[in-house]
Amino acid sequence: MSEAHAPATGPIPLADADERTRDRVRSAVLEHGPISAAQLGTLLGLTPAAVRRHLDTLSKNGVIEVKLVSNARSGAGRPARRYVLSRRGQSAMGNDYLDIARTALTQLAEAGGEEAITAFAEHRFAKMEQDYRPIVNAAGDDISARSKALATALSGDGFVASSASFSFTATLAAEQLCQAHCPVQELAASFPQFCDAETAVFSRLLGTDVRRLSTLASGGHVCTTHIPTGRSSSKTTNPSTSTTSNPSQERP
């Protein structure tokens, strides 16, 4: 074999090795996010220092971002840092599927009007309603308990959800259901029927009228749904500490 065609036997340059490792970290965040640094280290076989270094680089480049989530079991303690791919990171990985979906929905709207998009969105969320109803019903008739059960179900499907109880006056209380992740966020920005269909499912599952205060699709940091629960058992106007599932978010 000539020298020109001899296989390279030297070590991989450090810069190239770092770039390959960062690609692995980015791919893992895409596939498994929201995910912690410790979980990434275990998954990829990296030391904590190496994980932190690559996460810092990806974060500075705008490829990933941090979601703060509370203890999934108790809601107590300081929020934990979980990593997800940013919009810029999603674009870097390629958005062919998104372009195809948006084009298909645009053509559907042109052929069948807005009603066709609404019907499509309702059909998509029908399975969510079917799957979640036994979980929510098992929580009983209390709306707060049902909201927390719904948050747990949503988190199980990767929505990074939480439900917090608030007492606004001596006679007015509510739950706020928050979602820090939405798998159809980009599509919902163009087709708000997806958000409307999901909100309607929440209302039917909880057995009460609900109101969307913010959505990721419209530029919010989280999707927040206001759920009135009736008479408050507390005379304080401060939020209670009762939370379930994942993110620790501020009220919108």
Tell me what pLDDT residue 19 has.
82
Task: Between 78 and 110, name the one with better pLDDT.
Answer: 110
Tell me what pLDDT residue 213 has.
94
Angle, to 10 degrees, between the axis of helix 37-44 and the axis of helix 48-60?
120
Contact 86, 23 (CB under 8 A): no
Average pLDDT over residues 202-221: 92
Instruction: Please state, in angstroms and rounded to a whole number, the distance separating the CA atoms of residues 14 and 12.
Output: 6
pLDDT band at 248 (very low <50, low <70, confident <90, very high): very low
Tell me what pLDDT residue 138 has.
97
Please write the tens of the pLDDT for every residue from 17-48: 778 888 888 888 877 777 889 999 998 898 98
pLDDT band at 202 (very low <50, low <70, confident <90, very high): very high
Signed CA dihedral, 36, 42, 43, 49: sign only: positive
Please write the tens of the pLDDT for every residue from 213-230: 999 888 888 899 999 987
Tell me what pLDDT residue 2 has.
43
Please write the tens of the pLDDT for every residue from 230-241: 754 443 334 444
Tell me what pLDDT residue 72 has.
47
Average pLDDT over residues 130-153: 96
- 207 has pLDDT over 80: yes
Other beta carbons within 10 Å of 170: 13
Tell me what pLDDT residue 68 has.
76
Tell me what pLDDT residue 97 has.
67
- 159 has pLDDT over 80: yes
- 74 has pLDDT over 80: no
